[in-house]
């Protein structure tokens, strides 16, 4: 993908009409990972922590657009979507949220927390046999995040967590739509290994911050906060604040 820059947010290729990247003063934070990686839990913990520290936040994620979110959810229940329809449905969902939620929040200097962004949908498309160049072109309107956390969890741990939580494995997360043979557990492991392999390639290409998601939620949360402090310059601001207090005390 091509990177362009206009004194503000970077874009992957195609600039939306009437969008000035320099006007986007907020931060775009992405947490990626497969279902069962603990991604949604970590986004919620990050949001609470950021707001406690005085940052205004808004949360976005897959299947949440007013235009396509509910329709996509209903379509997936029928188990009849072809790979290209599946892909374009998710792309529509993303494009609507980008225009209606993400860009306005960044203009207002909010921190946007994305519970998955374009990378999960791209990975799924490529794992389902879609042309990678076509997939990248579809998502070329995306803004480049300030940081991308990827919660790396092994397929077997994903299966254990999913079964513990839901008692069943997902049709789509098992790759059953691409005519796999064998029982669902075998299909799940095989498909998630393929997804994991594509994610590993993307981690290098897109500069993911890879986080060991096999650990406890509290350990992962502490890791994310440490990296967020560095991104937001929180330690430097804290030190500056202490220095100002010290100078005022000395003058008094």
Mean pLDDT of the chain: 85
Query: Which one is predicted more confidently, 118 or 3?
Result: 118
Q: Which long-range contacts (CB under 8 A, 24 or more apart) does 70-78 make?
A: 76/172
pLDDT of residue 248: 58
Secondary structure E strands in the chain: 4-5, 10-11, 27-32, 57-61, 111-115, 147-152, 209-212
Instruction: List, for residues 115-167, the tens digit of each pLDDT value.
Output: 999 999 999 899 888 999 999 999 999 999 999 999 999 999 999 998 888 88
Pair of tokens at residue 183: 């029982």
24-251 folds as Rossmann fold (3.40.50)
Whole-model pTM? 0.84
pLDDT of residue 214: 94
Q: What is the mean pLDDT of residues 45-63?
A: 95
pLDDT of residue 212: 96
Per-domain residue ranges of the chain: 24-251
Instruction: List, for residues 84-95, the tens digit of each pLDDT value.
Output: 887 888 899 999
Q: What percent of the chain has pLDDT over 70?
A: 84
């Amino acid at each position: 993908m091509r990177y362009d820059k206009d004194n503000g947010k970077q874009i992957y290729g195609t600039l939306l009409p009437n969008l000035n990247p320099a006007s986007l003063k907020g931060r775009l934070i992405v947490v990626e990972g497969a279902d069962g990686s603990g991604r949604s839990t970590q986004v919620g913990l990050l949001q609470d922590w950021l707001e406690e520290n005085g940052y205004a936040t808004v949360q976005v994620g897959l299947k949440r657009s007013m235009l396509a979110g509910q329709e996509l959810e209903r379509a997936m229940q029928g188990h009849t979507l072809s790979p290209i329809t599946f892909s374009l449905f998710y792309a529509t969902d993303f494009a609507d949220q980008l225009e209606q939620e993400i860009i306005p929040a960044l203009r207002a200097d909010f921190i946007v927390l994305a519970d998955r962004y374009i990378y999960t949908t791209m990975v799924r498309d490529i794992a389902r046999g879609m042309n990678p160049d076509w997939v990248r072109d579809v998502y070329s309107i995306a803004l480049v995040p300030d940081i991308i956390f990827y919660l790396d969890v092994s397929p077997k741990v994903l299966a254990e967590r999913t079964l513990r939580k839901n008692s069943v494995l997902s049709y789509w997360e098992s790759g059953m739509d691409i005519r796999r043979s064998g029982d669902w557990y075998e299909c799940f492991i095989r498909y998630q290994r393929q997804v994991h392999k594509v994610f590993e390639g993307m981690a290098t290409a897109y500069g993911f911050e890879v986080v060991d998601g096999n650990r406890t939620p509290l350990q992962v949360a502490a890791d994310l906060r440490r990296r967020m402090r560095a991104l937001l310059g929180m330690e430097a601001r804290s030190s500056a604040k202490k220095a100002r207090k010290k100078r005022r005390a000395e003058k008094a």
